[in-house]
């Protein structure tokens, strides 16, 4: 910020520059008005009478154009023609600046331009030079717009003039207000004020209606029975546009308008879509405008006469509600059915997959079993061939018997016998048992005399004589104990002995 001394010095310089400019402005105004007065005096009396009878303006196109030419000449510093200066009454229409308010407009325009130049110079703003000869200066136009003097909605303007006690004004769109009224099963009270500046009777009617709306009884009655709509908008232009559109929809012939609109639901036969049909069911003539009590009486009578519309629409709304409920239940039921079907399909697929898995496992197990069976058959056939012929029966007899007769009791209770050389290994006896269907992996051979057990392959190496079996011996099949290896401990537990007790007689027979 410059120091105070420098600031005051600059202000003095601007004042010195502005002084001559103000003087020039005053001189220019005097120079511009003098020819106008002379020209006005030069008009014939008939033109003066015509001008005074028309409110001070001559309705002559040529006169208007001449007036504009004179005004331009004055602004440029030129003078009128000599003929007009002398005030001669010629056939040519005088170029009078009085037409269309020429004198006032010219003076006002000249002062406005000169004031703009002075302000531009005093404010220190740059100006565009008009050239060395002209030396004219033009002030920059401000880019700022004037604030909207009509800001604020209807409710704000109403409260500013009539107080805050009033019905609830719906300032949204006309369609929104009527749809709200339909949803609440009410009629829509519509008030469209006359355009601002109408004046006269329309303004008085608007004032009377607004005073009635400010009455507590009226406000309470409207809030309890209607939805009230007024044209909304933050600017007067928006409210005027909303008023014009609404007036056309409700069939208003003039403004202000006070009426009642009913909304009914209808179904489009082509699209089957529901839509609202709006119709004006009552209008107040507003001539004279209603007082508070008259407005309440009028609204009560409208409700009484049109209650059947509300009853019909209420029944229609209930029907639509029931249809929506049924539709919702059907949709929910259908959705639940789809969900259940999906879950059932998932469960069925899982069960099918489990059955397929079990079947595959069973198939593989069967294949393994069949392979094992084929392997067993091949092994047993091979072992049967390797057993060879039995020793003759005579080899069993005598003190120096070289053979022994062994009887094998199978798991199914059947018995088989065969002769072996006493020098044959127990492995050959076990192979013989294998050929008869004994599972040597899970079973073993046991004897009671002596008490011993023989397993494959642990006992396969010892001979029959080393095993302690005599010329005649009884062997039976038993399951191997859990965790038992292929080796035998040469003993039989008590359970095995009890199981073999019944075979002692058979062994004696041998």
Concatenated DSSP letters of 106-144: HHHHHHHHHHHHHHHHHTT---EE--TTT--EEPPPP-P
Higher pLDDT: 337 or 122? It is 337
Q: In whole angstroms, what is the distance from residue 66 CA to residue 36 CA?
A: 12
Nearest of 10, 6, 3, 38 to residue 124 by alpha carbon = 10
Read off the pLDDT of residues 60-108 as tens digits, 9 standing for 90 and up: 333 333 433 333 333 333 333 333 333 334 344 444 444 445 555 666 6
Read off the pLDDT of residues 483-500 as tens digits, 9 standing for 90 and up: 665 555 444 444 444 444
HSE-up of 231 (CA within 13 Å, CB side)?
24
Lookup: tokens for 231: 């044209």
Answer yes or no: is pLDDT of 358 > 90. yes
Q: What's the pLDDT score for residue 248?
A: 93
Q: Which domains does the chain have, with CATH numbers?
A: 4-123 (no CATH), 154-315 (3.40.30.10), 393-509 (3.10.20.90)
Q: What's the pLDDT score for residue 21?
A: 53
Q: What's the pLDDT score for residue 106?
A: 64
- Report CA-CA distances (Å) from 3 to 7, 10, 11, 315: 6, 11, 13, 83
Answer yes or no: is pLDDT of 507 > 50. no
Q: What's the pLDDT score for residue 28?
A: 52
Read off the pLDDT of residues 328-354 as tens digits, 9 standing for 90 and up: 999 999 999 999 999 999 999 999 999
3-state secondary structure of 479: strand
Contact at 8 Å (CB) between 73 and 80? yes
H helices present in 388-425, as ranges:
none
Nearest of 492, 490, 436 to residue 459 by alpha carbon = 490
Read off the pLDDT of residues 424-470 as tens digits, 9 standing for 90 and up: 999 999 999 999 888 888 899 999 888 899 998 888 899 988 998 88
Read off the pLDDT of residues 9-64 as tens digits, 9 standing for 90 and up: 455 555 545 555 555 555 555 554 444 444 444 444 443 333 333 333 333 333 33
């Amino acid at each position: 910020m410059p120091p105070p001394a420098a600031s005051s010095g600059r202000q003095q310089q601007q004042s010195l520059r502005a002084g001559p400019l103000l003087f020039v402005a005053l001189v220019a105004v005097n120079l511009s008005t003098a020819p106008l007065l002379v020209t006005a005096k030069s008009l014939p009396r008939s033109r003066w009478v015509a001008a005074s009878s028309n409110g001070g303006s001559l309705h002559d196109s040529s006169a208007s154009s001449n007036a504009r030419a004179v005004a331009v000449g004055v602004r440029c510093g030129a003078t009128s023609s000599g003929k007009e200066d002398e005030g001669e009454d010629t056939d040519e229409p005088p170029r009078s600046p009085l037409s269309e308010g020429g004198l006032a407009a010219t003076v006002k325009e000249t002062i406005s331009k000169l004031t703009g130049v002075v302000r531009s110079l005093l404010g220190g703003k740059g100006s565009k030079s008009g050239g060395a000869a002209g030396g004219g200066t033009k002030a920059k136009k401000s880019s700022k717009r004037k604030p909207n003097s009509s800001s604020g909605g209807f409710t704000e303007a109403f409260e500013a003039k009539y107080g805050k006690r009033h019905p609830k004004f719906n300032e949204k769109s006309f369609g929104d207000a009527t749809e709200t009224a339909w949803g609440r099963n009410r009629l829509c009270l519509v008030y469209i004020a006359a355009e601002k500046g109408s004046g006269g009777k329309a303004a008085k009617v608007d004032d009377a209606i607004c005073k009635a709306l400010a009455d507590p009884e009226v406000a309470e009655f409207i809030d309890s029975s209607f939805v009230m709509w007024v044209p909304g908008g933050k600017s007067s232009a928006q409210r005027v546009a909303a008023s014009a559109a609404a007036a056309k929809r409700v069939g208003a012939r003039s403004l202000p308008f006070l009426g009642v609109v009913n909304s009914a639901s209808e179904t489009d036969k082509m699209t089957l879509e529901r839509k609202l049909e709006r119709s004006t069911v009552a209008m107040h003539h507003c001539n004279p405008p209603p007082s508070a009590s008259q407005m309440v009486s009028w609204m009560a009578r409208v409700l009484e006469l049109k209650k059947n519309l509300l009853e019909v629409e209420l029944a229609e709304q209930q029907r639509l509600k029931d249809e929506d409920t049924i539709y919702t239940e059907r949709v929910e039921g259908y959705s639940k059915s789809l969900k259940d079907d999906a879950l059932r399909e998932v469960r069925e697929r899982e069960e099918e997959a489990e059955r397929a898995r079990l079947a595959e496992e069973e198939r593989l197990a069967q294949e393994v079993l069949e392979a094992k069976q084929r392997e067993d058959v091949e092994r047993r056939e091979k072992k049967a061939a390797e057993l060879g012929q039995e020793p003759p029966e005579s080899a069993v007899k005598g003190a120096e018997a070289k053979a022994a007769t062994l009887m094998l009791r199978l798991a199914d209770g059947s018995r088989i016998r065969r002769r072996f050389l006493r020098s044959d290994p127990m492995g050959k006896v076990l192979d013989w048992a294998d050929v008869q269907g004994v599972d040597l992996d899970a079973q073993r051979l046991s004897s009671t005399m002596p008490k011993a057990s023989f397993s494959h392959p642990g006992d396969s190496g010892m001979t029959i004589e080393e095993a302690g079996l005599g010329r005649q011996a009884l062997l039976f099949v038993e399951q191997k104990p859990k965790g038992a290896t292929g080796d035998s401990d040469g003993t039989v537990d008590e359970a095995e002995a009890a199981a073999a007790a019944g075979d002692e007689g058979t062994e004696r027979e041998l």
